[in-house]
Every structure is written in structure tokens, then in C-alpha cells.
Homo-oligomer: A and B are copies of this chain.
Amino acid sequence: MSKLVIVGSCAFDAIETPFGKTDKILGGAATYIGLSASKFSGVSPAVVSVVGEDFPQEYIDLLKNRGVNTDGIEVVKGGKTFFWSGKYHNDMNTRDTLVTELNTLADFDPKVPATYKDAPIVMLGNLQPSVQLGVIDQMIVKPKLVILDTMNFWMDIALDELKTTLKKVDVITINDEEARQLSGEYSLVTAARKIHEMGPKYVVIKKGEHGALLFHKDEIFFSPALPLEEVFDPTGAGDTFAGGFAGYLAQIETVSFKTMKNALIYGSCLASFTVEKFGTERLQSVTDEEIKERLREFEKLTQFDIALN
């Protein structure tokens, strides 16, 4: 089994979209990443996170039952779980955050389980950069690949910390606006080059419904998002993408531009399921056969044959 360390939030989300609204449901970056990575046979993902006593055991069991190691999920006595609430606009591309209660996440001190400190792949979900760095430092064998997801919030309030962490990172995943903010460049090609210079050899720029770009030296690869009849709830799509990306690389155990291209497709494929229902519902139910069928749709969507001599 190929070990994959995943660090990030486990959370309650309350989501409102033009199609309806939910009560507090299971959410959080590490949850989506873990569920997504659990789709890859031969991969043993471990989620490192923190929750309060209010976090239902059934949510932890849900991860366990899918082969996700949960030893690294700390339950804080008397504590409350991170809560986020948001409302999507009609275009489903923009949203307002209604509530953010950090609760136990505010003092998150992640502890990687001893048996996972030699994992070859580490996926750092969006968190304070110093906390992400702390996780890298706990690894007793230098990982083959460290993947970091972050967001504009940390660029605003902890840029130096982020830049320090990035020096130890192999792959960064951010969205297009964040890539522009981090690099100060409008062109994504130039932005990626500047971000390379900050540390990550691979730069993944997520463009939501417009797909994702992978940059490595002078090479570029693009995966579209699957055009869908209906996007029901975009929450967790980026984290599902990251989980598919990391999970595929853990399974294949080979890191190269070629395998990372496939990782980008797998990430996009899994994300296309997440947005079909509220929260983690669709990701929980998706089968191997459905994933395979959808990968075929990605092939049909992108593969062409022009005879070039």
C-alpha cells in the first residue's frame, strides 16, 4: 500500500445554492481530499485534522470504511468543529461566505501518525502556511512529492510564511486569480514561471469550470472541466481535484510530467462528480465503473488526431 498523508480541515458546512439549501453537513478540505484519494486501489490515505466533540463518529467511520486512516484526526474535548456557511449566486461561480467559525481549527497542531511519517506523498490542504510547514518537518523520510493547496487569504496576511513553506513544496495548486496575486503577473504562463522560482517545480492553476493547467519548466498541459448540464453545488470541487491528483500519483508511484498529466485528468474527473450533488454525497456514492466511464468522456472531449509529418 502506498501511503498518502493528507492535512486539512474536517468541517461542518451549511450550503445554499439556487437549487436548495442544507443544514450542517460534512465538509472540510481534508474530508474531500481523503474521500477522493480513497478511490485509488493500493493507496492508503491518512487524514490529519482536528475536530470538536460535536463531530459525529459516523463521519469518522465514513472515512474509515473507505480505507482512510483517521488516527491523525484529533478530537478536542469540549471543543467545537470548524463551521463554514456560504451562499452561491445564480452563476454558481461566485459565492458569499455567511459564517466562518474556526473553533478548534484556530489552534490546530497537526500530528502525523508515526506509521505515516515515511509516506512518499504529502498533500497539504489549504491551511495556515506555518502549519503546513510543520507537517513537512514531521516527515522522517523526505517525501517524493509534497503538494500544497493554498488561497488568497494567506497571501494577504501571511505572505512571507507562505513563501518560506513554498521552498519545500514540489507542487502548488491555486486558482487563476491567486496565481496572479502571488506572482504579480497577469499572464498565467508568466505567473507560473515566477511561482516556479519560489520553489514548486510543478504549478497547477485551477480555473474552475474552465479547467486546470499544469506547468513544469517549458511544458504545459491542460485538462478541461467536463461540461455538465447542471452544476448543483461547487463546494469541495477544488479539494476533490487535489485528492484525485494526489491519489493517482500515490497509486502510480511514479512522479513525472507524464504521470502528472494523468493526475490532472483524474482530479478533474472526480471533481466533476462532486459538483453534481450537495457536499460529499456524490463523491461518497461514485463507483469505479462510473469513474472509468467518465474518464472515457474526458478522452472523447479532448483527444484528436491530426496527421502532422
Contacts and interface: CB of A to CB of B under 8 A. Distances in A.
A305 B260 CA distance: 11
Contact of A190 (B221, B229, B295): B229
Interface in A281-309: 292, 295-296, 299-306, 308
Nearest to A265: B304
Interface size band for A: 35 or more
A189 interface: yes
B228 A187 contact: yes
Interface in A224-251: 224, 227-231
Given A295-B306, A304-B262, A224 B222 contact: yes
A147 B287 CA distance: 41
Given A299-B306, A300-B219, A304-B261, A227 B213 contact: yes
Contacts of A219: 300
A186 B90 contact: yes
Interface in A206-232: 207, 210-211, 213, 219-222, 224, 227-231
A188 interface: yes
Contacts of A295: 306, 308
A91 interface: yes
Contacts of A305: 258, 262
5 contacts: A213-B227, A224-B224, A295-B308, A299-B306, A303-B304
